């Protein structure tokens, strides 16, 4: 494989890890290990949540450097694990460079299930948390419905929205619908329904990555992850407050 193909493979590997919830140090370590397995000299990688810098010395002794900008962010740790497995197979000589690039290209393309895995997993998560909060069957079902609808909001809105808009609208919906359901039917425990529906929006992964990066001395990535986690938590809390205020207005009319 030529230098351009090797650089593309390294870039794809790092981008998949960073865009799907992997830690910054994991992306850097995976890229360096892959480069070493390819026989590249002096490989180096520097990652931040919004970008990845890769450099190495090619066969002609020239220093090659590229920058990869991260655009979308998702949580799919299965893809992160798949890239790690490919790195191990490459190091063990069980995978050629061409096969590595083909596999990475497949991982980078969203599959049919990828469109529905977020609503499905969010619903399952909310269902389990509502049960943990001692909710009944109605609480679990309403929580699961709200969590799934939150993930599907970008599909239903007429204009394209970012992740921040989804957090505010989703948390407002997750607090408004359970209260309306309880108001109209008298069924369920509002606290369990709302808490269960909001749990999939809690930035646990971002906060975990922030702590791991800071402990490892990567202050730039750690600070960025921490800021993202705090902003996400504030937006979720603000959206829930908006939903509560809307219910108070609607409740006065019911």
103-154: pLDDT as tens digits: 998 888 765 446 678 888 889 999 999 999 888 899 999 999 999 998 888 7
Q: For residues 81 and 16, what is the distance between their CA atoms, to the nearest angstrom? A: 10
Q: Span 202-212, mean pLDDT?
A: 85
- The angle that helices 97-108 and 3-19 make with each other, rounded to 10 degrees, is 40
Residue owning tokens 């921040």: 164
Residue 17, Cα to own-chain centre: how many angstroms? Answer: 10
Q: Where does the pLDDT of residue 253 fall: very low under 50, low under 70, confident under 90, or very high at 90 and above?
A: low
Distances (CA, A) of 75 to 91, 118, 122, 127, 186: 26, 8, 11, 19, 36
| Residue 242 confidence (pLDDT) above 80 | yes
> Of 53-57, 183-187, 202-206, which one has max mean pLDDT?
53-57
Locate tokens 């230098």: which residue? 3
pLDDT at 178 over 80: yes
pTM (two decimals): 0.77
User: Which pLDDT belongs to residue 158?
Assistant: 59
Does residue 254 register a pLDDT over 70? no
| Inter-residue contact 173 to 145 (CB < 8 Å) | no
Mean pLDDT of 27-45: 91
Pairing between β-strand 51-57 and β-strand 63-69 as defined by DSSP bridges: antiparallel
Contacts within 8 Å (CB) and 24+ apart, 54-58: 54/7, 54/10, 54/11, 54/14, 56/10, 58/3
User: What's the pLDDT band for 162 if we cut at 50, 70, 90?
Assistant: low
Q: Which two tokens stand for residue 228?
A: 């993202």
Tokens (6 digits) for 152? 């599907």
pLDDT 10s digits, 64-108: 899 988 876 777 788 889 999 999 999 988 888 889 999 998 888
CB 198 within 8 A of CB 142: no
User: What's the confidence (pLDDT) of residue 19?
Assistant: 87
Q: How far apart are CA 115 and CA 92, in angstroms?
A: 33
Q: Which residues 6+ apart lie within 8 Å of 189 measured at CB? A: 133, 134, 135, 136, 139, 182
């Amino acid at each position: 494989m030529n230098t351009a193909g090797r650089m593309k493979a390294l870039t794809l590997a790092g981008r998949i890890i960073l865009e799907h919830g992997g830690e910054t140090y994991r992306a850097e370590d995976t890229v360096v290990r892959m480069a070493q397995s390819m026989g590249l000299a002096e490989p180096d990688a520097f990652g931040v949540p919004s970008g990845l810098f890769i450099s190495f010395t090619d066969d002609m002794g020239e220093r090659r450097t590229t920058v990869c900008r991260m655009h979308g962010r998702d949580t799919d740790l299965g893809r992160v694990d798949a890239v790690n497995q490919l790195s191990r197979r490459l190091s063990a000589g069980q995978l050629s460079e061409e096969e590595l690039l083909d596999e990475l290209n497949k991982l980078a393309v969203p599959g049919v299930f990828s469109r529905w895995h977020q609503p499905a997993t969010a619903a399952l998560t909310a269902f389990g948390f509502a049960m943990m909060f001692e909710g009944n069957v109605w609480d679990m079902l309403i929580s699961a419905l709200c969590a799934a609808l939150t993930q599907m909001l970008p599909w239903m809105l007429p204009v394209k929205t970012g992740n921040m808009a989804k957090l505010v609208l989703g948390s407002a919906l997750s607090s408004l619908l359970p209260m309306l359901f309880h108001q109209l039917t008298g069924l369920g425990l509002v606290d369990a329904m709302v808490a269960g529906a909001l749990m999939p929006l809690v930035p646990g992964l971002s906060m975990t990555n922030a702590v791991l990066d800071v402990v490892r001395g990567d202050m730039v990535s750690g600070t960025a992850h921490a800021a993202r986690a705090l902003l996400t938590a504030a937006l979720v809390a603000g959206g829930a407050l908006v939903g509560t205020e809307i219910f108070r207005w609607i409740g006065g009319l019911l």
